[in-house]
Amino acid sequence: MDRPLAEGIRSRLLAWFDAGHRDMPWRRTKDPYRILLAEYLLQRTRVASGTPYYERFVERFPDLASLAAASEEDVLRAWEGLGYYRRARYVHAAAKAIVREHGGRIPSDAATLATLPGIGPYTAGAVASIAFGEAVPAVDGNVTRVVSRLFRVEADVTTAAGRASIQELAAGLVPTARPGAFNQALMELGANVCTPRRPACPACPLAGLCMAHGAGVQSALPRTPPSRRPTAVPVSFAYIRSRGKVLLVRRPESQILGGLWSLPGGEVPSDRRARASLRDLVAAQTCLRVDVAEDVGRVAHVFSHRRWTGRVYRCVPRGTGRLPSTARWVAAEEVLHLPVVPDHRKLLAELGFRRPLESFDAPRRRRA
């Protein structure tokens, strides 16, 4: 790293950052717990999306001890709707590990932070630099973009070699003084100025030092491989009620929407035979056989050809045709306190599930 160049980047970027930046709740605190929590929340998540969750989360779990002592269900409930639900279990597990193995004190160096669940190179660097002042880089999508343009990195940044280049260049920039502010400034620049498309180079404090801008190739960087076509897959759920309750299943943690409660189903029927077996699966349950088995076709509200995230995911082996052991009949008031797949919560609300169970069972067909 050319030292005068690095110095120029630091001074200009920090001056720009100090002159004004977005106000974020986790920037107003020095509490490592809140900074750590914010970093978990913001993994692959826009600031605007994560902020309300951050506010609710710190109100619900104001310190590390309260989070560590909470039930996983409560933590997931606070995360409901944000996505990437694995993060909720990771931050919960991390809080427990910090209490158990670090005396309740959040580790202050990136290397130790990286041993905690859900903390990788980015989050370790962000927390170490922002909360504890360690001079380490925090390379996220923004920093990757900014650095690749600043130094005109032509390599594919998704490969190991490309990532290493970016990481090394970023490490050479981080100042000993105010490393956290510098890392945030880099991210801020990437979010507001050095944007993915049509970067605002005339407004950029680093334009004069930027190799991509000098060559006019900034919009072509960073280089990434062509994306693969997403494929829509059919997904079915069963809406089954009995005696004023609805059947919910806690989804396996390793699968999509893992750990949340959903309507039974959610597998990917690959053909007609697979689709029929969902009905078999429903009918196999004893309680269903008693109450609704003969009416499964009538009471089951099956959604097919539902598009999830636009990506293909694995078909789940159908197993023995029994419902998961977590299957549970749940009353309306209890649903409100469970971490339920957000789409299903909306659906249940639309079907009147928030109202007394009698009206829930009443005829409600009405065409406009």
Just list the catalytic residues: 39
For the CB of residue 218, give the shortest distance to DNA in the complex, in Å: 13
- 89-125 burial, b for 16+ CB within 10 Å, e for fewer? bbbbbbbbebbeeeeeebbeebeebbebebbebbbbb
Cα 148 to Cα 166: distance, rounded to the nearest angstrom: 7
Establish if 305 lies at the interface with DNA (CB under 7 A).
no
Place of tokens 């009698």: 358
127/282 with CB nearer DNA: 127
Q: Which of 61, 123, 263, 266 binds DNA (CB under 7 A)?
A: 123
Establish if 176 lies at the interface with DNA (CB under 7 A).
no
Helix (H, G, I), strand (E, B) or coil at 262: strand
Q: Judged by CB under 7 A, which stretch of 95-103, 180-188, 205-213, 294-302 contacts DNA?
A: 180-188
Establish if 28 lies at the interface with DNA (CB under 7 A).
no
Site map 32..71 versus DNA, x via CB under 7 A: ----------xxxxxxxx----------------------
Establish if 188 lies at the interface with DNA (CB under 7 A).
yes
Q: What is the largest CA-CA distance in the chain?
A: 79
Site map 253..292 versus DNA, x via CB under 7 A: -xxxxx----------------------------------
Q: Are 235 and 302 in contact (CB under 8 A)?
A: no
Q: Are 339 and 86 in contact (CB under 8 A)?
A: no
CA distances from 316 to 170, 253, 322, 366 (A): 41, 13, 13, 37
Contacts of 214 (CB under 8 A, 6+ apart): none
Applying CB under 7 A, the site for DNA has a residue count of 61
Which residues here bind DNA, judged by CB under 7 A? Answer: 22, 24, 27, 42-49, 81-86, 90, 117-124, 140-142, 144-145, 159-161, 184, 187-188, 190-191, 196-197, 224-230, 254-258, 309, 311-314, 341-343
